[in-house]
């Protein structure tokens, strides 16, 4: 059955419209996360505080990126041809959550850069804490959903790998 040209054009423009709406939503979230005022006087250990914060940020971003890579490996080759459609929604929610975690880490990094540009770093500023908490908790939610997806599919893979009793006889 052939698709009409109108459906194809609508589908193509619908995709780009969806991308524009998503970009606008991301911009609004970023604007909200960076809108809190910062009040802080620099202290002598400011460099250590910045280093500790950025190291934690790097660690979570690295873990999130690794988790997305592992999920891609499982979805596109790890189950060796077996269907992994069971609980696929959990994999999608987990991937979106981990991706949001990476984005929140980026927002936290931008907040640190803007504070340093202003000449003061406050690790307890509401702007930075919101981004930091969002970075960690969206990562944690993603880990839970991806672990649930893997658990459900590994159980199915184990059932499929067991030899039947009649096969040995």
pLDDT at 51: 84
The residue range of the domain holding 153 is 34-159
Token couple for 99: 């991706």
Q: pLDDT by residue (tens digit) across 93-113?
A: 999 999 999 999 999 999 988
Q: Give the torsion sign (CA, 6, 7, 12, 16).
A: positive
Whether residue 158 is predicted with pLDDT greater than 60 in this model: the reply is: no
Name the packing angle between helices 46-73 and 88-118 (round to 10°). Answer: 160
The answer to the question of residue 134 being in a domain is yes
In-domain check, residue 100: yes
Q: What is the number of domains present in the chain?
A: 1
Tell me if 78 is assigned to some domain. Answer: yes
Q: Is the pLDDT of residue 78 over 60?
A: yes
* Residue 9 forms part of a structural domain: no
Residue 147 resides in a domain: yes
Average pLDDT of every residue of the chain: 79
pLDDT value of position 154? 75
**Residue 24 belongs to some domain of the structure:** no
Q: What is the pLDDT of residue 135?
A: 95
Digit-coded pLDDT (tens) for 116-155: 888 777 788 888 889 999 999 999 999 999 988 888 877 6
- For residue 12, being part of any structural domain is answered with no
Give the pTM: 0.66
- CA pair distance 145, 134, nearest whole angstrom: 16
CA dihedral 134, 23, 75, 81 (to 10 degrees): 170
Local structure of 4: helix, strand or coil: coil
3-35 pLDDT, tens per residue? 556 566 666 677 778 878 888 888 888 777 777
Residue 160 pLDDT: 55
pLDDT at 169: 44
Per-residue pLDDT, 1: 47
Residue 42 has pLDDT above 90, yes or no: no
Flag whether 129 is in a domain.
yes
């Amino acid at each position: 059955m052939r698709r009409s040209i109108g459906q194809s054009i609508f589908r193509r423009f619908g995709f780009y419209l969806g991308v524009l709406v998503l970009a606008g939503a991301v911009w609004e979230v970023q604007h909200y996360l960076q809108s809190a005022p910062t009040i802080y006087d620099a202290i002598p250990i400011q460099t250590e505080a910045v280093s500790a914060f950025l190291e934690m940020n790097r660690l979570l971003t690295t873990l999130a990126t690794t988790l997305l890579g592992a999920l891609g490996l499982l979805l596109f080759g790890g189950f060796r041809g077996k269907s992994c459609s069971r609980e696929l929604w959990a994999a999608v929610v987990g991937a979106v959550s981990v991706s949001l975690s990476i984005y929140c880490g980026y927002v936290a990094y931008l907040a640190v850069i803007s504070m340093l540009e202003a000449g003061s770093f406050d690790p307890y500023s509401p702007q930075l804490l919101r981004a930091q908490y969002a970075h960690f908790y969206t990562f944690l939610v993603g880990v839970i959903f991806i672990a649930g997806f893997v658990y459900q599919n590994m159980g199915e893979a184990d059932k499929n790998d067991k030899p039947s009793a009649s096969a040995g006889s």
